Structure 1
Amino acid sequence: MLQIINLAHNNFSGEIPRRSLTTWWSMMANKDDSLVEVKFLEFSLEAGRDGIGFSIEDGITVTSKGSEMDLRKILSIFTLIDFSCNNFSGTEEIGEFQSLYVLNLSGNALTGEIPSSFGNMRVLESLDLSQNKLSGQIPPQLAKLTFPSFLNLSNNQLVGRIPTSTQFST
């Protein structure tokens, strides 16, 4: 039930461990839900309940959207992976995290193309793949992302057009 995984600024190298990625269930969409929605934040008017459909956990400091933030309280639905500033390679399985809000893989040794599966991350708000050795085009599947407020793909070897979508144009 890990929600926040922060391995930033270490000397880790090699492929991101695939076995770990396939067991982090809280970052994957609930198989019973056809779409991850903000319905978790709705309030219930049921008698005898406090009506809150989520819980709040203790705080932590994270890097998101290019800035360090102190999160004093964490919603139980908030998920974050920060593997920045290591020497990791391999990212394909991360595209399965349909309930992931923040992904920071900047400053690693990622090569090849950005996986098209990243377009499956339906609630992703922040994606930082900067300062790697990624090549090829930005996959058009990234245009399916509907919530990104921060996208950093700088300092790579990407070519071609930026995909068109409502979010990318703003």
Structure 2
Amino acid sequence: MDMALVFLSLAKNNLSGVIPNSTCEASNLQVLELSNNKLSGKIPSNLGQCSKLFVLNLEKNDLKGTIPNIFANVTSLDTLKLGLNRLKGNMPSSLANCGSLEILDLRNNNIHGGLSTWIESFQSLGILVLKSNKFVGKIPLEFSNLLNLQILDLSSNKFSGIIPIDFMSLTEMANQTESTKTLEYQASIGVTYTNQMIIANKGQVIEYAKILGLVKSLQLSNNNLSSKIPWHTESLKGLIILNFSRIHFNGEIPNSLGSMVQLESLDLSKKELSGTFPAKLQQFTSLNYFNVSYNNLSGMIPQGRQLITFDSSSFSNNLGLCGLQNKISCSGSHHNPVSPSDKEDTTTVEDNILWDVGMGMGNAFGFCVIPNLGVQSASELWMP
């Protein structure tokens, strides 16, 4: 391997076999992009010799074993993408040395353990995707210190407990303006590596590159979280995707969620929610996906604005709901029963329009997260 090599991008080339140990001989390597191939075996433990490494993307291969403890000297790492492999075990302790990490994507592996021992090390983190692993324990309070976090996906794990109140004070998710972070890296040879987002959400796939700052998403679905939907969720007004489905929440839907007018996807399905349908939810103006099915909601579904555009599947299996959307008569009643929270708020709606989320690489627009190199077109990341 050429010692002077700085940028190596071989994504989407149908490569097979193991990653050669000679890769690590390129001590000046800044970007290593081998995603979307058929590479197998383990991640070489001597990758830690590449102390100048800024981007390591090995996602969507067939890599096995544990993530090696190689990050003690790779302190400049900005992007680490190891998703869609067959990795297992705990997070390596040396990863805590990567304080400048902005993107961490480990989706669809078998990684386990808790988060509290290492998450607070990443003060620059903007994108964290850990979906479809085996992480356990409570969501740590340290998340509230990640002020730059704009995309968080912890779905389909085994997290338990409640969502901490401080967790809802994430500054970037509360910010309704575009993030100023570019998530780009200029290699020393003049080539730009542009991080991109490809997010699959409810059957839609959208890809973001240059407008990545618009993408703000929170997905916690399919965990063992309990209690009620936090009333302070409405403080995250910059979100365009909010997915709390398949969580053991009970109680009413907070009326204040209606003030999150930039939302384009809201999923509160398959929970234990009860009470009347909040009237303020008809203030949404940008929704293209909405689901409150499989709950215990009651009353008339408001027919104003966008709620009237969703069919019965968005409201199904709520025995007490009625209205035009689910084609169930309200027995002559023309008004939705008003809950105490509905009486409080008559805020006018601001017409703010944004779009979806995901993670990936490339020069395009999407709903998953994937980083892209200015040399090789990025591979598309699948986010179920």
TM score, norm. by length of structure 1: 0.78
Q: For the structure 1 residues 70 and 167, does the alpha-carbon distance in structure 2 shift closer, same or farther, using more than 3 Å as the test? A: closer
Task: Note closer, same or farther for the CA distance 1:124–1:108 as it changes in structure 2 (3 Å cut).
Answer: same
CA displacement, residues 9-51 of structure 1 (integer Å, 9 cap, x when unaligned):
01111111211211x1112145xxxxx6xxx6xxxxxxxxxxx
Using the alignment, how far apart are the partners of 1:156 and 1:6 within structure 2? 23
1:153 to 292, 298, 320: 292
Taking the TM superposition and a 5 Å limit, the aligned residue runs for 1:15-164 are 15-22=162-169, 24-29=170-175, 55=182, 58-64=195-201, 66-67=202-203, 69=205, 71=207, 73=209, 75-89=212-226, 90=228, 91-164=230-303
Question: Which structure would you say has the larger RCO, counting Cα contacts within 8 Å and 6 or more residues apart?
Answer: 1
Give the alignment partner of residue 10 of structure 1, picking from 137, 144, 157. 157
Inter-CA distance 68–7: structure 2 relative to 1 (3 Å threshold): farther
Q: Is this contact kept in 1: 2:284–2:305, CA < 8 A?
A: no
- Conserved in 2, the CA contact under 8 Å of 1:126 and 1:151? yes
Kindly name which structure, 1 or 2, has the bigger radius of gyration based on alpha carbons: 2
Deviation at 1:164, TM superposition (A): 2.2
Q: Quick check: 2:196–2:212 contact (8 Å CA) kept in 1?
A: no
Contact 2:249 2:272 in 1 (8 A): yes
The answer to whether the 8 A contact 1:61-1:68 is kept is: no
**Change over 3 Å in CA distance of 1:68–1:13 after alignment to 2:** farther
Using structure 2 for the length normalisation, give the TM-score. 0.36
The one-letter code matched in structure 2 to 1:67 is G
In structure 2, how many angstroms separate the alpha carbons of the residues matched to 1:72 and 1:150?
Answer: 19
Q: Is the 8 A contact 1:54 1:77 kept in 2?
A: no
Distance 1:69 1:59 in 2: 13
Alignment partners' CA distance in 1, 2:276 and 2:239: 23
Work out the CA distance in 2 between the residues paired with 1:63 and 1:143. 25
Secondary structure at the aligned position of 2:155 is classed as coil
Q: Secondary structure at the match of 1:100?
A: coil
**Distance of 2:238 and 2:291 partners within structure 1:** 20
- After TM superposition, give the deviation of residue 110 of structure 1 in Å: 0.8
Q: Is the contact made by 1:79 and 1:99 (CA closer than 8 Å) also made in structure 2?
A: yes
SS in structure 2 opposite 1:110?
strand
**Distance of 1:127 and 1:58 partners within structure 2:** 25
Q: Which residue of 1 aligns with 2:113?
A: none
Structure 1 unaligned spans of 5+: 31-35, 41-52
For the aligned residues, what is the CA RMSD?
2.3
Gap runs ≥5 in structure 2: 1-147, 184-193, 310-384
Q: CA deviation at 1:61?
A: 5.0
What is the deviation of 1:67? 2.6
Report the 3-state secondary structure (helix = DSSP H, G, I; strand = E; otherwise coil) of the residue aligned with 1:148. coil
Distance 1:154 1:78 in 2: 26
Change (3 A) 1:83 1:130: same
Quick one: distance in 2 between partners of 1:94 and 1:102?
12
Pairing partner for 1:165 from 295, 304, 322? 304
Divergent runs of 4+, >4 A: 53-57
